[in-house]
Amino acid sequence: MAQAGANDPVDSPSEPTLWLAHADLQRLIDALRADGRRVLGPVVRESALHWDEVARVADLAVGWRDEQAPGAYRLRHDGGAAVFGVVNGHAGVKPHVFTPHETLLQIESGELGAAFVATPRLPAPEPIALLGVRSCDLAALAIQDRIFLRDRFPDPHYAVRRAGLFLVAVGCTRAASTCFCVSTRTGPAPRADYDVSLTELDAGAPEGGFVVRAGSEAGRALLARLALAPAREAALAQERDAFAACEASMQRQLPIDGLRNRLYAALEHPRWDEVATRCLSCGNCTMVCPTCFCHDIADEPSLDGRESLRTRSWASCFDRDHAQVHGTNFRPHIRERYRQWLVHKLAGWVDQFDVSGCVGCGRCITWCPVGIDLTEEVAALTGDAGGAR
């Protein structure tokens, strides 16, 4: 086998690399469901890609492809047989662990003069298999784990949902025009933090199928029941070539080495004023970002005042109220809010979590209504040769 590159999958001698024919993908879905898991996968609904329940291969986005550009996204059916031809949609793994809106506590008043009672409202454990997780979203989930779990006070709501996840990753053999995961060293091949990984090869051909790897004990147990044959060297060579072609096709780059210091040095760059004339401060970039974790806590009292629910909802640093404190707002202008988002994402996270907050998925570029490109902004701010190629 050729030496593994920076983004190639790594095969351990003790971990066999297996082969799953296209015709046998249903067996994998059936095995996941037989374990009591609800299987969610990429499904086309109302002209958009959603995570939805999957019982059959035909439920998946078979034959669909995505066309992405700054401020533009569309799906088209090309009549092919690729099961995972769509690179990604607007939602990654984050909503399945850090949900957009949830109740944290139920607070009830006692009888007159009695103390109130606060009861945690944890979500019910639910075993879920996510089928089709991309490598950038695996990296994003690892960052979310660091934020919500590896802390003095781990988040119990996140922990319940995270414990129920079984992750079936899919390696990317094509890139959208807004992808730049090679720059962030998070793809296109899944390298860690999955239970099972698939790489789709020769979709539609009689010999087509998936190169399969296990990444956890649960994944190994599942694959053992399927009794798959080892992948042939020709398939592994084709997989390496497919990943290399995907890397070479990426049209954007983000020079991350030393980026933290260069951004801190550019805090008064005139580019912030220029981008503020285009930014709508709508918060789309933060809503689709797989790592953003800002949220609001609110109390929702009942009409009779005897009960209140404490809730948590996603928030955005682009909201003007996000920086509102008593008597003043310390980021009143879009210039400051855009600067906060980009510098925190690419520099402040390194200080806080020892990792960048960007995984190169490109969603913030695609789903920005005015097509602001993070890679171009960074290149303009730092003078690096980044952005679109």
pTM of the model: 0.92
Strands (E), the chain: 18-21, 38-45, 48-53, 64-69, 72-77, 101-108, 117-120, 128-133, 165-170, 196-201, 209-214, 229-230, 252-253, 295-301, 307-314, 324-325, 328-329, 387-388
How many CA atoms, within 13 angstroms, populate the side-chain half-sphere of residue 21?
7
Is 322 exposed, middle or buried, given 0-12, 13-18 or 19+ CB atoms closer than 10 A? middle
Q: Which of 150, 178, 96, 151 is nearest to 359 (CA)?
A: 178
How many CA atoms, within 13 angstroms, populate the side-chain half-sphere of residue 295?
18
Tokens 């607007």 sit on residue? 90
| DSSP structure class, residue 356 | -
Rg (CA), the chain: 22
How many CA atoms, within 13 angstroms, populate the side-chain half-sphere of residue 293?
22
Q: CA-CA distance, 5 to 13, in Å (whole number)?
A: 17
Question: In 10 A of CB 216, how many CB atoms?
Answer: 14
Written as tens digits, the pLDDT of the chain (389 aa) is 233 445 566 565 567 899 999 999 999 999 999 999 999 999 999 889 999 999 999 999 999 999 999 999 999 998 888 999 999 999 999 999 999 999 999 998 876 656 788 899 999 999 999 999 999 999 999 999 999 998 789 999 999 999 999 999 999 999 999 999 999 999 999 999 999 999 999 876 667 899 999 999 999 999 999 999 999 999 999 999 999 999 999 999 999 899 999 999 999 999 999 999 999 999 999 999 999 999 999 999 988 888 899 999 999 999 988 888 888 988 899 999 999 999 999 999 999 999 999 999 999 999 999 999 999 999 999 987 667 76
Question: What residue type is assigned to position 41 of the chain?
Answer: G
**Which residue ranges make up each domain of the chain?**
18-251, 259-388
Q: Which of 207, 214, 241, 219 is nearest to 22 (CA)?
A: 207
* β-strand partners of 102: 312
